[in-house]
């Protein structure tokens, strides 16, 4: 199976990605994650203003096959959510690194980025899992 790996984001081992923009970070799930879930039907996003901790569940993504927690890849405050997903959750399947983003954080501690994987390391992780 061929998956896309955006080289410009960093990845958590739990399959979320992070794109840093200044002091803020955009969070989504990887192409591998959306493939594994299959058709996404509902996403329970965190409320704006909520403080999330790195590694803690902060959202739920539900597909026709399963419901999975989304773990915060970084600590911070949720400052925006992708409200369009309420009506069109399938965007996560169609464009996981773009229009299918989930929420935006104001980072508490940019040093946490060091805990995340680059595209190459993440691809190796996926290839070891996807056997």
Partner 1 sequence: MNYIPNTDADRAAMLQAIGVGRVDELFHDVPMELRYPKLALPPAWSELDAQREMRALSDRNLDLNHASCFLGAGAYRHFIPSVVDFVISRSEFYTAYTPYQPEISQGTLQAIFEYQSMICALTGMEVANASHYDGATATAEAVIMALHVQHGDRRKVIVAPTLHPQYREVVRTYTQGMRLSIVGDETPGDGPGGLAGPEELAALCDDDTVALVVQVPDFLGGVVAPDRLRALADRVHRCGALLIAVANPIALGLLQPPGAWGADIVVGEGQALGNPLSFGGPYLGFFACRAEHVRRSSGRIVGQTVDLDGQRGFVLTLNTREQHIRRGKATSNICTNQSLNALAAAVYLAALGRQGLRQVAEQCYHKAHYAAAQIARLPGYTLLSGDFFHEFVVRCPRPVPDINRYLLHEWGIVGGYDLGRDYPSLAGHMLLCVTEVNSRQEIDQLAAALSQLDSSPAHVGQEVRR
Does 38 help bind partner 1 (rule: CB under 8 A)?
Answer: no
Does 87 help bind partner 1 (rule: CB under 8 A)?
Answer: no
From 5-13, 55-63, 96-104, 112-120, give the range in contact with partner 1 by CB under 8 A: 55-63
Token readout for 103 is 């929420």
Give the span between the Cα atoms of 52 and 126, in whole angstroms.
25
Does 66 help bind partner 1 (rule: CB under 8 A)?
Answer: yes
Give the span between the Cα atoms of 39 and 51, in whole angstroms.
29
> Using CB under 8 A, which of 8, 39, 42, 94 touches partner 1?
42
Query: What residues make contact with partner 1 under the rule CB under 8 A?
Result: 42, 44, 47, 60, 62-67, 69
């Amino acid at each position: 199976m061929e998956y896309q790996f955006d080289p410009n984001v960093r990845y958590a081992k739990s399959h979320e990605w992070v794109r840093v923009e200044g002091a803020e970070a955009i969070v989504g799930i990887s192409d591998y994650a959306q493939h594994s879930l299959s058709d996404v039907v509902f996403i329970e996003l965190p409320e704006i203003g909520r403080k999330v901790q790195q590694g803690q569940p902060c959202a739920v993504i539900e597909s026709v096959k399963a419901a999975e927690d989304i773990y915060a890849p970084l600590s911070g405050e949720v400052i925006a959510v992708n409200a369009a997903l309420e009506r069109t959750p399938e965007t996560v399947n169609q464009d996981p690194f773009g229009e299918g983003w989930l929420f935006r954080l104001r980072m508490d501690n940019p040093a946490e980025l060091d805990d995340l994987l680059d595209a190459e390391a993440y691809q190796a992780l996926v290839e070891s899992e996807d056997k």
